Each structure stands twice: as C-alpha cells, then as structure tokens.
C-alpha cells in the first residue's frame, strides 16, 4: 500500500489538455471537421470521446452512431489534424519544466501516460524539449484504452511503482475513470475547454496551472 506520509512517488501526466493545451483545438476540430466527415447523422457529446485513443473513437462512433467512412479514412483525417495541432498550435503547460525539475530532484518519477500514439507524443516531447522517464501510449499495450484502467496499470508495472503511490493528472471524464479504476490518486485539471465536464470522480479538482502545480507539490511532499 502507498505511504501517505511520504507522498506520491510518481506523477503520471495525461498529454492532451494537461501537458499541452490541445483539447481546445480538438474541441473545435471534431465537431467542425472530423465528425461531419465521419458521421451521417447526429454527433456525440465531446465528453463521450475525449480521452479515448483515436482508433477506439472510431469504433465507438461506428457502434453508436451512423458512420459514412471507413476506419482507415477516419484514421487518416484524425492523424493529419493531430500533426497540425501538435506542430503549430499547442502551448506547453505553464511552469511544467520547473515543476518537472523539482519533482526529479526529490526522486519523484515523472511520466506521460497518453491515449495519443507515439508519433504524436514524440512531436510534443521534441518540440518542447520534454525529457520524462517514460512516455506510455495506449497503443503500447495489449488492452483497452481509457476509460479502462489498462494503460495506467501498465504504466505502474513499467515504472515498478505501486498504483497506490501514483498520482495521475487528467482533464477528461474518461481519463479520470481510468486512473481511479487503476487504484491511483487522481487530480482533475480544469483549463477552460473542460469547464462543464463532470470530473467529480477525481480525488480533487483544480482550476488552472498554478493550482495544479501547488496540488502536485502538496501531494508529493515537494516544496516549490
């Protein structure tokens, strides 16, 4: 079991909407471009799919809505959109590098656990010079993506850290559910696009990057 007095030994950051502010762009791209190209009828609420791997988003749409293109066509559209967003639009979480250095100096492991495929998260880590211990994608595992706990359970195994000693930072309902189902402590991060998302399943909900950094420091025992 985790030692609450010691604080969390690892911080597992989601990428989209946490490490980078990509969700504001995805929230525009999906209803304005991706869903019209994919669906013949009604569109889903964004909270239904936010946080999911894009290939599983197609499976979800195909099962619950009326799709009009193939999965391969959907993947091509999504991939082209993603590369443009990550290369040209997103900004890094304010204060991330300083926070990372503080955590590392106090022997707290920092990792990224994302639904994005390696080709996308590599654009982000290279563009912003992010050097974390591990970046783990839902595509790295033989299991289900968020909201299933598989990717977080896999991350704990790779890091060799008990799930109870892991602190997750998520911005989506699906991501929060995945972290909680894996037995981890979850901080839900609000940053604008997800202000109306139900994040009540998280252990704590914070607003903005300053509150997020303060909560991470508090739960890891790191002094800023």
Supply the pLDDT for residue 133.
84
Lowest mean pLDDT among 1-10, 106-115, 128-137, 214-223: 1-10
pLDDT of amino acid 223: 73
Question: What average pLDDT does this structure show over 203-207?
Answer: 98
pLDDT at residue 4, as a whole number: 41
pLDDT above 50 (res 1): no
**β-strand 166-170 against 134-137: which pairing, if any?**
unpaired
- Adjacent-strand bridge partners of 207: 190
pLDDT of residue 91: 97
> What is the predicted pLDDT for the residue at 224?
57
Higher pLDDT, 172 or 4: 172
Q: What is the mean pLDDT of residues 125-148?
A: 94
- In this prediction, residues 200-213 reach a mean pLDDT of 98
Query: Using CA atoms in the order 1, 12, 175, 21, what is the torsion angle rounded to 10 degrees?
Result: 160
The residues, any chain, with a CB within 8 Å of residue 58's CB and separated by 6 or more, are 38, 67, 71, 74, 75
Q: Mind listing the pLDDT tens digit for each residue in 46-94?
A: 999 999 999 999 999 999 999 999 999 999 999 999 999 999 999 999 9
Looking at the predicted structure, is the pLDDT value of residue 11 above 80?
yes
* Token pair recorded at residue 6: 């010691």
**Rounded distance between C-alpha atoms, residue 4 and residue 220, angstroms:** 9
pLDDT bucket at 154, cuts 50 / 70 / 90: very high
DSSP H/E element including 12: strand 10-13
pLDDT at 6: 62
Q: Is 137 a residue whose pLDDT tops 70?
A: yes
Q: Locate tokens 């656990």: which residue? A: 113
Mean pLDDT value across residues 131-141: 92
């Amino acid at each position: 079991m985790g030692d609450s007095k010691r604080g969390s030994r690892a911080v597992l950051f989601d990428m989209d909407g946490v490490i980078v502010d990509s969700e504001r762009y995805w929230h525009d791209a999906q209803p304005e471009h991706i869903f019209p190209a994919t669906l013949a009828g009604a569109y889903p609420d964004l909270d239904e799919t936010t946080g999911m791997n894009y290939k599983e988003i197609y499976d979800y749409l195909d099962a619950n809505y009326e799709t009009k293109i193939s999965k391969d066509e959907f993947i091509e559209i999504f991939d082209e959109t993603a590369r443009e967003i990550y290369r040209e639009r997103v900004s890094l979480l304010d204060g991330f590098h300083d926070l990372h250095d503080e955590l590392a100096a106090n022997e707290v492991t920092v990792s990224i656990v994302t639904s994005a495929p390696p080709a996308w998260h590599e654009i982000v880590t290279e563009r912003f010079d992010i050097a974390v211990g591990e970046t783990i994608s839902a595509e790295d595992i033989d299991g289900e993506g968020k909201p299933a706990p598989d990717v977080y359970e896999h991350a704990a195994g790779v890091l060799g850290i008990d799930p109870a000693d892991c602190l997750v930072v998520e911005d989506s309902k699906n991501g929060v559910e995945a972290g909680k189902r894996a037995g981890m402590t979850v901080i839900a991060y609000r940053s604008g696009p997800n202000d109306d998302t139900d994040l009540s399943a998280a252990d704590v909900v914070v607003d903005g990057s300053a509150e997020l950094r303060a909560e991470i420091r508090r739960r890891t025992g790191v002094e800023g």
